[in-house]
């Protein structure tokens, strides 16, 4: 595994050269770190699945540096264009009818492609310098926590990427919100970094979130996902009874836990959901590292970024 390289103009040029040459690069975005390859090169995209141990039915998000570039990949109607103009660059992924140029492996054989223009300056510079759209899922092993630091990505992808770009902790800390357009109406496929309420100001009421499960509407919406090593339990209103011989970790929303647990982390002392989202994966990772067998997680309010947080906690808790 290459050591993370601090972001610089030279490092971005080197990363872009790897992408152009069919290699893979870990790079920061404002949501989480991504593992990128040339989206138009099927062989390079296949390496992503290999490195992540990601099943081939789980399609990749393609990252672009402009709406114009998005147009080369998908059919974009006026509704989708309005969302791009309002929210790009930013944490919104749109699933749209794909054009032929996008290789099957990128979309897992679907006739749609997921597109996003990231806001992170390093990500944008990389896509521009590469001169090609960049397919990039989160830079973690399949099913594990998404990395919010370069070190966390590197630790999970042992024999993998050609280069790891490091620009510190990601700002948003949870993945993008994924929206699909069906019969002229948008649906949320995955709650994420762009709160539902903000999207609804443009679209009006969104269709209900499509549920994961055995045959998810979106292939990546597996029930079990985004998991720490430890087992995770979302706690309810009744006090938790701790069992002897088990090392508990505790993920609190705003204040220290009353229960006598081995280690705990607080998502946001002020109850700020954006701060809580930014801390979610790194705190879970730290509780893992502290050796917790079971992580008890407090629920957070189900509004704004709280929807994305609760979605990730439920998936982490699924067996």
Per CB under 6 A, residues contacting ligand AMP are 58-61, 95, 107, 110, 112-114, 137-138, 175, 178, 180, 189-190, 218-221
For the bound state, the minimum distance from the C-beta of residue 149 to Mg ion, rounded and expressed in Å, comes to: 16
CA distance 241 to 16: 52
Residues 121-150 that bind Mg ion (CB under 5 A): 137-138
Residue 25 binds: one of Mg ion, ligand AMP, none (C-beta under 5 to 8 A by kind): none
Compare residues 147 and 306 and give the one whose CB is closer to ligand AMP: 147
Compare residues 41 and 221 and give the one whose CB is closer to ligand AMP: 221
Distances (CA, A) of 94 to 120, 182, 234, 257, 274: 18, 11, 30, 39, 22
CA distance 50 to 142: 10
Compare residues 123 and 296 and give the one whose CB is closer to ligand AMP: 123
The H or E element spanning position 119 is none
Residue 110 binds: one of ligand AMP, Mg ion, none (C-beta under 5 to 8 A by kind): ligand AMP
Compare residues 76 and 305 and give the one whose CB is closer to Mg ion: 305
| Strand 248-252 with 263-266, pairing | parallel
Residue 188 binds: one of ligand AMP, Mg ion, none (C-beta under 5 to 8 A by kind): none
CA distance 63 to 54: 18
Give the residue closest to Mg ion by C-beta: 138
Give the residue closest to ligand AMP by C-beta: 220
In the 8-state DSSP scheme, what is residue 87? H
- Counting contacts by CB under 5 A, is residue 227 touching Mg ion? no
Locate 186 and state its tokens: 């948008």
Compare residues 189 and 310 and give the one whose CB is closer to ligand AMP: 189
Residue 293 has φ and ψ, to the nearest 5°, of -85, -40
Locate 312 and state its tokens: 């990730």
CA distance 193 to 90: 9
From the list 27, 228, 229, the residue with the least C-alpha distance to 138 is 27
For the bound state, the minimum distance from the C-beta of residue 290 to ligand AMP, rounded and expressed in Å, comes to: 26
Could you list the residues that contact Mg ion (CB under 5 A)?
137-138
């Amino acid at each position: 595994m290459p050591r993370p390289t601090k972001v610089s103009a030279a490092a971005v040029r080197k990363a872009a050269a790897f992408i152009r040459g069919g290699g893979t690069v870990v790079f920061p975005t404002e949501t989480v770190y991504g593992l990128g390859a040339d989206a138009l090169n099927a062989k390079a995209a296949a390496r992503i699945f290999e490195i992540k141990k990601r099943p081939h039915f789980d399609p990749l998000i393609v990252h672009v540096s402009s709406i114009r570039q998005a147009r080369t990949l998908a059919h974009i109607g006026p509704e989708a264009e309005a969302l791009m103009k309002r929210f790009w660059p930013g944490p919104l992924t749109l699933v749209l009818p794909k054009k032929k140029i996008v290789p099957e492996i990128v979309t897992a054989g679907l006739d749609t492609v997921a597109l996003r223009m990231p806001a992170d300056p390093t990500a944008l510079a990389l896509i521009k310098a590469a001169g090609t759209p960049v397919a990039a899922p989160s830079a973690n092993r399949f099913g594990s926590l998404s990395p919010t630091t370069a070190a966390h990505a590197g630790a999970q992808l042992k024999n993998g990427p050609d280069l790891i770009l490091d620009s510190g902790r990601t700002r948003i800390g949870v993945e993008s919100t994924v929206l699909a357009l069906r019969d002229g109406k948008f649906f949320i496929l995955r709650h994420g970094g762009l709160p539902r309420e903000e999207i609804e100001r443009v679209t009006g009421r969104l269709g209900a979130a499509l549920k994961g499960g055995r045959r998810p509407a979106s292939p990546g919406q597996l029930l079990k996902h985004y998991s720490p090593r430890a087992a995770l339990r979302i706690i309810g209103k009744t006090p938790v009874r701790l069992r002897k011989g088990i090392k508990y970790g505790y993920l609190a929303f705003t204040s220290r836990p009353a229960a006598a647990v081995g280690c705990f982390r607080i998502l946001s002392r002020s109850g700020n959901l954006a701060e809580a989202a930014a801390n979610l994966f790194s705190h879970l990772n730290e509780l893992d590292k502290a050796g917790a067998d079971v992580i008890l997680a407090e629920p957070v309010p189900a509004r704004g970024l709280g929807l994305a947080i609760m979605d990730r906690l439920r998936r982490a808790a699924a067996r």
